[in-house]
Structure 1
């Protein structure tokens, strides 16, 4: 059950007091450690600015936090259900494992029963929880200077053939339906936040999306129709540029993107996207800020729709737009990605100038 949470000051006071009345009703994610805890956790209390509060365990996991090993916020359900206990133990022992329903069956469990049990206790499924564990493990490895493990990529592809098959499935077409010398070509590459699909022609990038974005099939069908079916596999120079510039971005070397983009939208939508491209890395604005910059202060909802319709993730930085109260709002790639991008861009934040 989800509870409406009070303001963060009230929850931080409850955290400092280890108030047991909030046990199971609220959780704290600590940005400095990457873990989430009960408010009664016996560990040393974090600073106020490092705390984010959540109503459910699923919210914590989706935001990229992992469970604290001292207060074990998922333990009560694990202790009362042997199936959950065994799966959580397996997940803790090997967080990088890529789980499938067949693995759950092999352990003697019914996938439907497990799905309902995890949703009931944690607000998320075991497979989604395992995916978050892989992503967290990969991000930790990256932060320590290592390579991002392939197993973190739930939406990743093991080979070009696997990508072609998955891509064709998204469009509802057989792989053989794609042209060999197409006007637009699709390829994919890995990033620390998951696999991304890029579509380009020889001169422009048309689409760049996370492979697990729910709206991706609709976007692909729209592009397929616009190019009259002249869509194939492979890459042109803009895809290479996008991959290279994103690699520099994630490595903390540069937040500048200067590759040519093809924008598909109404004139208003494209105007919003152009303003997004002027937002410096490490800064954020609200939808109302963007509307005022357009000279349309009454068009906040239209700005939000245009922001959500962005088909070139990160390079057109729709993740830099927050709600009017400064909270994270909808992001097609998942709020956990939006949070990670904002955290990463603190490295690029404009330095404050002090008078001499």
Structure 2
């Protein structure tokens, strides 16, 4: 978010300007909560504020809902059903909800999905997942070497923080001598935060933290590599941080950080072809299928494209639909278009 926009939102927060309701949420780093623009609580300093367009973004960034301004209740007070489910998530944030969990609360799952979608623009499962993932992201963002139980302070579940992290990242308290350890680091970028996971030799994953299915991606990576994933940095992560900074400044589209590809031979063949697409250009899924000698495998190419875990490094965002439209992207179609435009602008500038 641009600095002038942040200042505009901060001024609206100080003034409790109701005209900004629904336009942004503010995450307060000193308290770990996120609020509406009109929250009656004492206002934080600007340097302690992070602004988000949606509640889901705030949740994924590890903030929990404020109990004073109830940011998930605007514009009207939420139903008892929603209050019950939000409370249940806070009491047990590591839970992955199943049909039986709704039955135990005497709540119809489809009703919960419908009410959450109407009120917050996301389903209850998306809400619970964002909360769980946000808790794990907080540990990564803190840069701690191991899970610190004190970081659970502020959560109604004393073990929620540790359990949520462990379910996604593995047992970070296990002996490094007995496990392959990968390290994870939070990287802020112009178009949203990313997470990088690597060891000292190679980069295994770099993704936008709000990517659909990221939680599952990390779990699969951990299991395939038989690793624990702990917060921290490696020389590989430091390398990709430098390259991403140059990329978003429009100074370079080259990525030379060593990578580790984990995929089927077909997926790796597709990913290799994606790396050949020049910055500033795009290809269709059909183009890629023809170029790898499998012209009828368009859908398989699309699936391989979506399975890429190295955003930007393997430029899956450069693949669009045959009619020229943007098509889908794990990090969101708007972000995909922004990335393509950035590369085209800087490509032509360099000519």
Shorter-chain TM-score range: 0.5 to 0.7
- Residue 142 of structure 2 corresponds to 159
Moved more, 341-350 or 283-292: 341-350
Give the distance between the partners of 1:101 and 1:311, measured in 2 at CA.
Answer: 33
1:63-111 CA-partner distances (Å, limit 9, x unpaired): xxxxxxxxxxxxxxxxxxxxxxx86533559886456464336989424
1:213-271 CA-partner distances (Å, limit 9, x unpaired): 22112111112112223433312111111111000000011111111110000011001
Give the distance between the partners of 2:264 and 2:173, measured in 1 at CA.
Answer: 28
- Residue 131 of structure 1 corresponds to none
Is this contact kept in 2: 1:171–1:221, CA < 8 A?
no
- Residue 169 of structure 1 corresponds to 164
Question: 1:309/1:281 Cα in 2 relative to 1: closer, same or farther (>3 Å)?
Answer: same
TM-score, normalising length: structure 2: 0.58
The two structures, once aligned, show a CA RMSD in angstroms of 3.9
Moved more, 338-347 or 98-107: 98-107
Secondary structure at 1:313 match in 2: coil
Question: 1:87/1:314 Cα in 2 relative to 1: closer, same or farther (>3 Å)?
Answer: farther
1:110 partnered with 2:51: no
Secondary structure at 1:183 match in 2: strand
TM-score, normalising length: structure 1: 0.57
Question: Structure 1: which 5+ runs fail to align?
Answer: 1-85, 126-152
Match of 1:263 among 261, 264, 267: 261
Provide the aligned length of Structure 1 versus Structure 2.
Answer: 242
Q: CA deviation at 1:119?
A: 5.9
Is this contact kept in 2: 1:180–1:233, CA < 8 A?
no
Q: CA deviation at 1:349?
A: 2.7
Alignment of 1:276-287 (within 5 A): 276-287=274-285
Question: 1:91/1:108 Cα in 2 relative to 1: closer, same or farther (>3 Å)?
Answer: closer
Give the distance between the partners of 1:111 and 1:326, measured in 2 at CA.
Answer: 42
Give the distance between the partners of 1:300 and 1:209, measured in 2 at CA.
Answer: 24
- Residue 20 of structure 2 corresponds to 89
